[in-house]
Chains A and B, each alone.
Chain A
């Protein structure tokens, strides 16, 4: 599941080919280069949209992974954090004129607070009990948002004023949005790598793998987990704010939906839970694919891309539980053994 474990044979001073805990690999640098090029190069509007979504989802998947992959807190309710972030910054901007550049931190903080409460309240729950609780909590948020129409606009939705300006965080050029989303994704990637190779990261892995043993080794599992969920929720909330500034329209049915929550979990699961590169690969593969399917099959194939996701998820989970990242790692190991 995780990135390749640290071994005593760490060759120092040499570049790694594939992603590993605690170092940057050539693969990651190459990916970074490709991303920068894609942002800089002029692309048709449609492809720029795909790029923006891909980067956003890479960030969101990485955020989920901190709780779900690293800490073992599998959540099917992350859309609630996303929605809290999105609505908070948008409502603050509309009602108080607060610039989203500040509002997004507040949204993130609110989402983090919600995450902390959820984790503490569900502290003793494990396995499916915890998962169901996240589902229920997200539904509570969605229904609340739907019915508190005075604040959120309810089912009719909430529009963000499309007046382009830096202070409003609304841009005319899609390239700027792509850069913004890339920045978001890169920031979370750096945070993820930092956590993965840190003492705190190891404490999360230990608490996830065997809570009793970790506790006997000096880890406070509840504190570690709550911290992970807070960070995860915070980052997801910021993603929600960025999404609001791009999409310019919010409504609870689409923004806090179980389908969206599922997407949060699907991308890391397919890409490789518990690794840093996994959620990124998941998004880079699935997001463009889903856009492709959506445009190719159009309205007639409503649900086809989701049906394919479902089928792919079943197959991948049963036969490639470590996802794309795991498959790459196995290839690398085979290569290493073959090399003289």
Chain B
């Protein structure tokens, strides 16, 4: 089975600092993969590299058997790679509905059709009540959900979630976790950066750990919590997955 996304020896340096250093992994169609690591580990840079926001210094990125390193973000989106932003970036002068419809317009060629798609997705992520709200009124938690909605509206084959749980109440976390867990069944492959560990450890069957730009672990959560390197870098102490 060929990989949907394959990353080989991917490196990105800024001056003397290697934000991402020789990272290699592959993700198969239908997987749900977590990505954790301390702040400054290079997770955002890795996302930026995959999604085309920046170009690598060296290494390869292969998506759907095509080499795509250095592509532009809009090319990534059109190819089926969606991403959320850690700090939400809504379109301030458009309504919530229009924010999502904009993404839907990639596939829906009329504004009306895009709005319909957007309406459905907003209901999916639990933002149905806020459809007409001006974006300026939303809290961070709601904005993060808007980010998720916008990403899903692109009808991607691969989605990169960036800390979508921050600011959510426990019940909202449960709801969002269920949504994410259900995506592979809908044909959407997920890579998921998250700091809210209990959500990701219980949901993702496979987790990668990034530390100082390097991939130090890539295994199932049960194995990870016992890995001394991971504990040292991030967990602090042995974690129980009860």
Q: Which residues of A come within 8 Å of B, CB atoms?
A: 1-2, 5-9, 22, 197-199, 202-203, 205-206, 208-210, 212-221, 274
Q: Which 9 A-B pairs have the closest CB atoms?
A: A5-B95, A218-B77, A215-B73, A7-B132, A213-B89, A209-B91, A218-B106, A217-B103, A210-B89
> A7-B131, A209-B93, A274-B93 in contact; A214/B102 too (CB < 8 A)?
yes
Indicate if B90 sits at the interface (CB-CB under 8 A).
Answer: yes
Give the residue of A1, A22, A199 whose beta carbon is less than 8 angstroms from that of B109.
A199
List B64-84 residues whose CB lies under 8 Å from chain A. 72-74, 76-78, 82-83
Indicate if B105 sits at the interface (CB-CB under 8 A).
Answer: yes
Contact at A7–B95, with CB atoms within 8 Å? yes
Indicate if B53 sits at the interface (CB-CB under 8 A).
Answer: yes
Contact at B114–A199, with CB atoms within 8 Å? yes
> A6-B111, A8-B119, A22-B111 in contact; A209/B94 too (CB < 8 A)?
yes
Min C-beta distance of B169 to chain A, whole Å: 25
> A8-B97, A8-B119, A210-B89 in contact; A217/B132 too (CB < 8 A)?
no
- Given the complex, which residues of B lie within 8 Å of A209, measured CB to CB? 91-94
Contact at A218–B154, with CB atoms within 8 Å? yes
- Given the complex, which residues of B lie within 8 Å of A7, measured CB to CB? 95, 97, 131-132
Min C-beta distance of A72 to chain B, whole Å: 10
> A8-B131, A199-B109 in contact; A206/B89 too (CB < 8 A)?
no
Name which residue of chain B comes closest to A220, CB basis.
B74
Alpha-carbon distance between A218 and B107 when the two chains are bound, in angstroms:
10
Residues of B in contact with A, size category: 35 or more
Min C-beta distance of B123 to chain A, whole Å: 11
Contact at B101–A202, with CB atoms within 8 Å? yes
Indicate if B26 sits at the interface (CB-CB under 8 A).
Answer: no
Alpha-carbon distance between A203 and B95 when the two chains are bound, in angstroms:
14
- Given the complex, which residues of A lie within 8 Å of B94, measured CB to CB? 2, 5, 202, 205-206, 209
Alpha-carbon distance between A206 and B106 when the two chains are bound, in angstroms:
13
Q: List 27 A-B contacts (CB under 8 A).
A: A6-B95, A6-B97, A6-B115, A7-B97, A8-B132, A9-B132, A199-B110, A202-B101, A202-B102, A203-B105, A205-B91, A208-B93, A209-B92, A210-B90, A212-B53, A212-B73, A213-B90, A215-B53, A216-B53, A216-B73, A216-B74, A217-B154, A218-B77, A218-B103, A218-B105, A218-B106, A219-B102
- Given the complex, which residues of B lie within 8 Å of A212, measured CB to CB? 53, 73, 85, 89
Alpha-carbon distance between A219 and B105 when the two chains are bound, in angstroms:
10
- Given the complex, which residues of A lie within 8 Å of B72, measured CB to CB? 215, 220
- Given the complex, which residues of B lie within 8 Å of A217, measured CB to CB? 74, 77, 102-103, 106, 150, 154
Alpha-carbon distance between A203 and B114 when the two chains are bound, in angstroms:
13
- Given the complex, which residues of A lie within 8 Å of B95, measured CB to CB? 5-7
Name which residue of chain B comes closest to A223, CB basis.
B74
List B169-202 residues whose CB lies under 8 Å from chain A. none
Name which residue of chain B comes closest to A221, CB basis.
B74
Indicate if B134 sits at the interface (CB-CB under 8 A).
Answer: yes
Indicate if B33 sits at the interface (CB-CB under 8 A).
Answer: no
Alpha-carbon distance between A274 and B92 when the two chains are bound, in angstroms:
13
Give the residue of B93, B102, B111 whose beta carbon is less than 8 angstroms from that of A2.
B93
Min C-beta distance of A175 to chain B, whole Å: 39
Contact at A202–B111, with CB atoms within 8 Å? yes
Name which residue of chain B comes closest to A198, CB basis.
B111
Min C-beta distance of B125 to chain A, whole Å: 15
Name which residue of chain B comes closest to A209, CB basis.
B91
Alpha-carbon distance between A9 and B106 when the two chains are bound, in angstroms:
23
- Given the complex, which residues of B lie within 8 Å of A218, measured CB to CB? 74, 77-78, 103, 105-106, 154
Contact at B51–A216, with CB atoms within 8 Å? yes
Given A202-B101, A205-B91, A208-B93, 18 additional A-B pairs, CB 8 A: A5-B94, A5-B95, A5-B132, A5-B134, A8-B119, A22-B111, A198-B111, A206-B94, A206-B102, A209-B92, A210-B89, A210-B91, A213-B91, A213-B150, A216-B77, A217-B103, A218-B74, A220-B74
